Structure 1
Amino acid sequence: MEKIKDERLKLKNLKNIRIAYVIQTLGIIAILGYDFVTKGINGMTDNPLWFVFIITTIVTAYLSMNISVDHEGEKKDPKKGLKIHLIVLVSICVTSAILLPLIDEFNIINVLLIPGIFFVCGLAPILYLYRLRKKKNEDTE
């Protein structure tokens, strides 16, 4: 098999891969939806396809962040964006910590654990986006 050298064919191949990915993702969502309807939320999350779906969604999100930073038109200050994102993330965590005790089944461990998980899971993409923007600014200078 020969390596593709024509740019038009490379782009066509990438579009075909994207279409196959979309069809595969829709199939996974359909299977998980069927499990949700028949077995409930626990049956859906016990399915191994759930982990495949979550992992592919996370990887796709991180890869699309790289593309979106490369196509930003104006030069953005990475530190300003980092501060804004951190303020939003901390406000979400504090709000969830305030609202969680209103639910009867939550105890103090859950009230501290769930906002902590929100913070860690939100901090990873924020720092990744900051690093991408900082690297882009250094490359353009």
Structure 2
Amino acid sequence: MKKITDERLVLQNLKNIRMAFIIQTIGVLAILGYEFIVDGMEGMRENPLWLVFMVTSISLAYLSMRVSVDHENNKKSPKRSLYIGLTVVTIISITAGILIPFTEGSTVMSGIIIGGVIFVCSIVPVMYTYHLRKSREET
């Protein structure tokens, strides 16, 4: 099979892939919506499509971050953005960790665990964005 070199055909192929992805995502959401109506939240989360949907969403978010960093017009200081991101993530994690034990049926340990999970899950995109900006600055 020959590699497509015509830019119009490449663009059309990318549009076709995007449309297939949109249709696939709508189908997955429809199936998960049906599972939610029939079996509730737990039934929906037990469906393997839930995992596929979450992995797809996370992958799309990371790929979009790469495009948005490359599309930035002004040169942002990677270290300054990293420090701001770390500060915001830390404040949100600590706030969640402090407020969770005040909810009904939660303990201090639940607050620590949820705050830690929020911190770890939020720090990964901040570090990835820093890495992208740093590598863009070097080139």
Please give the TM-score of this superposition, normalised by the length of structure 1.
0.96
Aligned amino acid, residue 44 of structure 1 = M
- State the secondary structure of the residue aligned to 2:25: helix
**Structure-to-structure mapping, 1:68-79, within 5 angstroms:** 68-79=68-79
Question: Equivalent residue for 1:115?
Answer: 115
The answer to which structure, 1 or 2, has the higher relative contact order (CA under 8 A, 6+ apart) is 1
Q: Measure, in 2, the Cα distance between the counterparts of 1:26 and 1:85.
A: 32
Note the alpha carbon deviations across 1:72-107, whole angstroms, 9 max, x for none. 001010011111111111111111112111112111
Question: Equivalent residue for 2:56?
Answer: 56
Question: Equivalent residue for 1:128?
Answer: 128
| CA RMSD across the alignment | 0.8
Are 2:49 and 1:37 equivalent residues in the alignment? Answer: no
Give 4+ residue runs of structure 1 displaced > 3 Å after superposition. Answer: none
Question: Equivalent residue for 2:27?
Answer: 27
Structure 1 unaligned segments of length 5 or more: list them: none
Are 2:105 and 1:105 equivalent residues in the alignment? Answer: yes
Are 2:3 and 1:3 equivalent residues in the alignment? Answer: yes
- State the secondary structure of the residue aligned to 2:49: helix
Structure 2 unaligned segments of length 5 or more: list them: none
Note the alpha carbon deviations across 1:35-91, whole angstroms, 9 max, x for none. 111101100000000000000011111111111111100101001111111111111
Q: Measure, in 2, the Cα distance between the counterparts of 1:68 and 1:92.
A: 24
Q: Measure, in 2, the Cα distance between the counterparts of 1:79 and 1:3.
A: 41
TM-aligned CA deviation for residue 126 of structure 1:
0.5
Q: Measure, in 2, the Cα distance between the counterparts of 1:67 and 1:99.
A: 35
Q: Measure, in 1, the Cα distance between the counterparts of 2:24 and 2:115.
A: 33
Tell me how many residue pairs correspond in the alignment: 139
Q: Measure, in 1, the Cα distance between the counterparts of 2:50 and 2:117.
A: 19
Q: Measure, in 2, the Cα distance between the counterparts of 1:82 and 1:26.
A: 35
